[in-house]
Amino acid sequence: MARHRHLGPSRRGRPDDKAPPSGRVSARSLLRLRSVVGQMFLLQVVVVLLLAIGAGVLLVLTVQHEGEQQAEQRALAVASGFANAPGVASAMTSPGASEVLQPQTRAAMQGADVDFVTVVDRHGVRLTSAVPSLIGRRSNQDMAPLLAGQTVTSRATGALSPQYRAFVPVENDDGRVVGAVGAGVRTSSVSDSVSRQMPVVLGGVAVAVAVLTGGAAVISRRLLRQTHGLGPAEITRMYEHHDAVLHAAREGVLIVDGDGTLLLANDEAHRLLDLPPDARGRPVRELGLPPPVADLLVSNRTATDEVHLAGGRVLGVNQRRTGEDGGPPGSVTTLRDSTELRALSGRAEAASARLELLYNAGLRIGTTLDVQRTAEELAEVAVPHFADFTTVDLTDPALRAEGPGEPGERRLRRAALVGVADTHPLFPAGARLRLSHSAPQVRALRSGHAVLEADLRGAGTWREQDPERAGRVLDYGIRSLISAPLTTRDSVLGVVNFWRVADSAAFEDDDLALAEELAARAAVCIDNARRYTREHSMAVTLQRSLLPSGLPEQNALDVAYRYLPAQKNVGGDWFDVIPLPGARVALVVGDVVGQGVQAAVTMGRLRTAVHVFSALDLPPDELLSRMDELADRIDQENGSAESGQGIFGATCLYAVYDPVDRRCTMARAGHLPPALVAPDGTVRFLDLPAGPPLGVGGLPFETAEVVVAEGSRLVLYTDGLVEERGRDIDEGLADLADVLSRVRGGPEEMCTAVLDALLTGGPPDDTALLIARTRVVPRERVARWDVPNDPAAVAEVRLLVAERLAEWGLGEAGYTTELILSELVTNAIRYATGPITVRLLLDRRLISEVSDGSSTAPHLSHAAATDEGGRGLFLVAQLSERWGTRYTERGKITWAEQQLPAGYVLPDTTPEEGPRDLA
């Protein structure tokens, strides 16, 4: 035991290492960082400071939070009190409400110490305000919850600083909400409250720090006396022998002194060397150890990973001397049982290779969403690191991106084949396979687990399905096979086959797990590709089915179009050409925000809505306003039905071209401006007012008009044509203008040239392109007369119409047209106001129009048998193909269209006649 005590730390330190005499512990001793006590005292002080700072910050935040709650409650109390005050509801609905309520709100502000008290009506218009200039203006407060009777509180940014605001609805005696009262308090008042309490908080923190620091000093003085001023290194050295034993539990540990006596041996050392129980304290050479081991232990030399035999075990030995750092002489030896080291090293190398193979599979399989390519990537990963040949056989539904196959599927098609040699007897890629019922592939699909045929020469079931080819495979040298199923939880996709030749080691049972892991990872990637391809095909099919299948018949424009779906995800781009009354044509392009089937369905709904609204002959700005309301409704429906995943808006451009006066009227909702190519080839983008996207709301839409020359080209497109990641939109528009300026020819040639120049690598986004060349109705096919407000003028109108129809070669239709126009003119004279004009237009149909200054639309009535009138519009509806009314800035136009006789050819020229005044 005397020897063991000698192994303690040396006291050969510097004179200042000695502990101070009892009762003479100074502050300098406490602050000496070399000692354990000094380090602990400094750590305690730091912890105290951190706790004090944290407590101070927490207290400040608590005070501030309480102040914010008080501010919010004060704003709510003032707003609620004012809203429920007698006479407020009646004053809000009375004339001069601002004059009555403004003084009351000022008094409430001063009495309640709030920043503002404001009163708004049901529409959000301010009746009172702290800033008089804002009275009468609409506030930005959302009135929907207030009109529903809810109280709204919020934190908003005011004119000077953030505020706490509260709005309370005001109800009249009938319970109807007539407006709301709002009050606000600045957060700066909360900050002032916190600032007033800061001295108290800081003082409390300082007192706490002083008290805790004094307590730490008292405890440290006592600890300094007990440790005698030792430093951490000296204390660690004192117990290093014991720590070595505790932390080497799975290795044998021996400590031998300079005289060759065993001082310490742990339990693992006793087991490895078969030491006697009383070995501690005895010379090493008396313990019966093998001579090489005993010589090493008493030599005190350094040894690293030396291998020794002891008791039938292979031991790895490491030894280090203990006297080199000033300690007592001796050595520390560690022992490790390495009997299975050679076998384990081989297995470790194999496991490492398998892990590397799985890692590469995760990186290289599934890089594309293509079923065929994913199968090829699986085969490429396995060869040559796992197999000499790999074949991937998939079911037809998996290859066609349809539904999953059936377990035990026997009809497969080879999707991929990769091997170490180009020549082989295996079925090539693309071959259709008919497997036998007992084939390894079928058994793997049926069981859901990999099937091993370690030696194909003895596998009779494998040879049954094609004995001739099986013989060639064996003659080639292929000897071993693993068939692993490609399945997911609900899908049977196919099977992957791993083949090895005679020169390679045959597959073993341990290889089944790796084969199944490779197949499982590849199956997920193939299934993802299959599902994506199926959904993409469905979306493309749906998108194309919702787009126009052809162009309508009309004479106003020569139109060509292109639609290209995105390479990855189908979006909601669409276009349309819609004939309108009066030989006019509407051109539409739009883009729904989003991708996939949902975007395509939403596009179809919006396109249908455009057709419905255009049938009402609405102006472009009004049509977009109706579309905006519809898009917002669709967005809300999708959001409520799919957890907030709405369409979040759509863009649209709507243009109406009139071939009579060459006027194009258009409006846009967040869409890119159209391009106009003049007959001489100059290109300009029309400066249209940019309205907000559909579904956003809040701003009106504006209409712009432009007169275009005959033969001009209108180019409408979606952003997929000119937008590209990493490139500014202005660059795309410039490229489009450059292509349009250089291309000559009709709309079809221009569409082809534009797509070839701008979308060389395929569209990353949906792209719709619509190019229309303008035509003009010859003036000789338009007749127009001004009609006085006199019933006697109807006869002269019929006479002039008959003359003009005779000139056009339509004498047979004269009586019907005269009757239609006489009824329309009679209705205008009898019920309308303002100037009356008759226009006869010869296009694909014979169009009769009567315009007046009234905005009241005629309606079809059903007269009784005894009524003398009321059958005029009924006759018009019976005699014409279709009829209707459209509104203009000056009134309305009532029109009717008639079919031209079969075989009729439009005349080339007719004597030109301008407008005539029948008065």
Mean pLDDT of 825-839: 86
Cα dihedral across residues 883, 884, 886, 890: positive or negative: positive
Mean pLDDT taken over the chain = 80
Please check whether residue 151 is in contact with residue 75, taking contact to mean a CB–CB distance below 8 angstroms. no
Strands 330-337 and 262-265: unpaired
Q: What pLDDT digit, counting tens, does each position of 689-703 carry?
A: 988 998 887 788 999
The answer to whether 335 and 254 have CB atoms below 8 angstroms apart is: yes
The answer to whether 837 and 890 are in contact (CB under 8 A) is no
Which pLDDT value is given to residue 11?
A: 39
The pLDDT confidence band at residue 910, using thresholds 50, 70 and 90, is very low
Q: What is the pLDDT of residues 42-89, one digit of tens each?
A: 777 777 777 777 777 777 777 677 777 777 788 788 888 877 888 888
H/E segment holding residue 497? strand 492-501
> Which has the minimum average pLDDT: 7-21, 107-121, 222-236?
7-21
Give first-to-last CA distance, the chain, whole Å: 141
Work out the average pLDDT over 804-826. Answer: 85
Condensed to tens digits (0 to 9), the pLDDT of residues 841-868 reads 998 889 999 998 887 777 665 544 444 4
Whether the predicted pLDDT of 347 surpasses 70: no
Based on its alpha-carbon atoms, the radius of gyration of the chain, rounded to whole angstroms, reads 47
| Amino acid, single-letter form, for residue 48 | V
Provide the 8-state DSSP code for 421.
Answer: S
As a whole-number percent, the residues of the chain with pLDDT over 70 amount to 81
Contact 146, 118 (CB under 8 A): no
**CA 742, chain centre distance (Å):** 39
Q: Which two tokens stand for residue 476?
A: 């080639």
**Quick one: 334 exposed, middle or buried, by C-beta within 10 A (0-12, 13-18, 19+)?**
buried
Name 833's bridge partners.
none
For residue 566, the one-letter residue type is A
Side-chain-side CA neighbours of 259 within 13 Å: the count stands at 7
Written as six digits, the tokens of 30 are 């406490």
- Token pair for 559: 């139109």
Q: In what order do the strands lie in the sheet with 478-487?
A: 432-434, 411-419, 389-394, 492-501, 478-487, 451-453
- Give the contacts of 331 (CB within 8 A, at least 6 positions apart): 255, 256, 297, 300, 301, 319, 320, 321, 322
**Taking the model in full, what pTM does it have?**
0.53
What phi, psi does 567 have (nearest 5°)? -65, -35
Residue 287 has pLDDT above 50, yes or no: yes
Cβ(391)–Cβ(496) below 8 Å: yes
Write phi, then psi, for 396 (nearest 5 degrees): -60, -40
- Helical residues (DSSP H) of 808-899, grouped into ranges: 814-831, 872-879
Question: Which DSSP letter does residue 168 get?
Answer: E
- The two beta strands, 432-434 and 411-419, are antiparallel
Q: Taking a C-beta distance cutoff of 8 angstroms, is the pair 543, 597 a contact?
A: no
- CB of 703 closer than 8 Å to CB of 620: yes
Note the pLDDT of residue 661. 92
Vertex 469, ends 467 and 474: CA angle to 5°?
Answer: 90
The pLDDT score that the predictor gives to residue 14 is 41
283 vs 116, 188, 271, 295, CA distance in Å?
96, 84, 18, 12
